[in-house]
Chains A and B, each alone.
Chain A
């Protein structure tokens, strides 16, 4: 059962159109909400004229934030997701983020809400509202924002809102001893997660039970529940957040946005069900983005390619409000050295506010920036020392003999990063063979004679995933043998209803057809965290395993008493409990569950019923890893990049379901390809959005995707009972670095590719500069 490629249990409702996404929630008397949004990136709101809007047929209410005291609330300062400690941060000073600000700080920021009888009339109402602005000077890039005397995004707060530093060994001595010093300024672009479902929220005050029901696209539904309960001064149980069918997340939906809170607060006051569904244009304008990052890097090395030390200075744009302290840059630091030894290291970073939407993680969450930095620098050493890029990598690679290996980093949970039971050289060698690296080097030379520009790029990543603190699972067997598994996480497409059912079925000894997994609803479990940081398989998977083992323990104990055997003789298979070797002496799990409700012997087994709730607390994150090799051809006349071959070798420990692991790798790869070749959230110097629709923001289509040659290696982790690691954020990390290296190589190494995305025009520019 575990490790089998079984098809997904959740698919039936999705392929028949029976999924229930937030925008599909239709309740009697439901009203619709639309938002008035700022046209300016920085302005004081002098007035909001609502009279005309109130007269629009169908408009029920116009909300400007002064109506009720709770509308003066703020969003939680720091995203209460899974950042637990910030080992490198030495200063953090972020401005408050109000639901209805008196001063807007980015284009698209919400100013007022219109409630109407349809989404169309709500939009009419928005059109009829006039806002009087007093524009203020704008800083739309981190470079402008840190200049002396630059306008401040928030009065009384520095634009540089946070700072971190970390040092390993003696970097100064490393540079003094260097035979080679290479230096690059590497720029990675701001991105949107770009789930096909935009954000949405529906809310209903249920008078009969005194419950505020909220349907949300949020990845962290307990965070939304707790925030609403706190604002309304109600117990958490009075707010129920349902976030079951969500059309993709990838990080952007992992943070609270103002609308997530405003819409339920209005529904609570008006006592009418409400729904707001973001339009794509709103999404492009007002939803969070990942933020531009610039890494200025110097590396000291020996002429044989051995790295002596590295010096990294990072600047990251965090937008108008920073709800993640420096989480993304901390991820960059902790994933920076990937498979390689950097004995001496100095890192300093700043988080910088700008008049753009707030910053959010996007799948990879700082790891793409780490990998792009490490691999581009390894390639820079190879060029400077006239060595093959793989030779440089082998010179510095961490080997199994070095393990357990500590690279000197400290993860966000405060635990030192440790690699154990991973064979990095085998990953590299496997990728090299699958890609026919040596053969392509030969063909590259031959084809160059014919005027064709072939390039080869190599990239390695690690993925720290499965961050705690914990997740739980609650399992119940009913009287007819059906097994229900409740979890505190939700799904944006990750297949939990299948993989967690596999864990339960395998552990308990029942058919997967009898197991139903329920998640994405705060009424199921008291405590849950949510889906992000590639954490569900490790946390919830092992929680299900623990809970199923506990149910199994009860089954064995009670069945042995009823069937008159020893506990060792009890077997459970396909929902039947039997005594080993005794054909007649058996009962179904359902019959036993029925008996367990009333049987007094259950007093010593934790109470009535075959039920158990268990939590799994990981020691720290698990380390998945991989190597990508890209072989590309560059058309020097058009700048077009053709991917001739792409090899993706990875390890994620024991796969729960290889079909789903393949899907995660393929999907993550496609997102990495988008990062490499075209995606970019762009703002002009006035903070106006230049990527305002899917016509302007490139996302890979089927015709852009090359075949993928995936190689699976398995290095199980000793850190959890299932031996599993994360996989969700493996896909996007390496394609940008591998493709950048391949393009640079195709152009004969005479230009440097230091900036993402690598667009056709940037390639042409590079060709012409040769």
Chain B
């Protein structure tokens, strides 16, 4: 079939782990945006969901850090975090190794991607799934772009990866959904946690919604670190989704929630 759904969302662990500390109206408005995203994903009737996250040293470390990695497991354990801390119980999420293998084989025609039959999900994947596939009954294919351990994956390579992923999705018979997670500006897991650059976030999401490749690829890591924090490096996943979907984006929700440490975002993009 082809790619049938594309979207992006936040994945910060506070979204579930510190839900009780958030201002209820702000929290519930974001959760409603995620519910709408879930409804659109389900309406697309995907056979599998590719979740492209910026993982946080759950599986990949500086002893062997790939620029790109895709999961090829039969099942995946989650979360790596303490369940009480994250607010998500331990669960096994189904995969589809045979489908993964076909997708990876095609992606490799133009982008060197690592693959992994073992993969433990951290909040980068399981927080979005908690909202989007809460029964954990969809086959998931995890993807990682290195947004954590410098030297980071170059932005133009993240774009090329998204393009390759689209080509791979179009070659398989299954209906594929793609969700990118992370971003936008944030300074997570430090005393700065809660700080966001709202103007920067709005400008980036405007570029993303217009699928303005040149504007998105014009960011530099030096500027992103200065203006959007180390968490801003995760815009790579949003860019790769834009490269794959090729359409225009629609914001379902985007607003800062400081105790969640990020401008909480849910957005979809037309697949054209």
Question: Are chains A and B native binding partners rather than an unrelated pairing?
Answer: no
A→B interface (CB under 8 Å): none
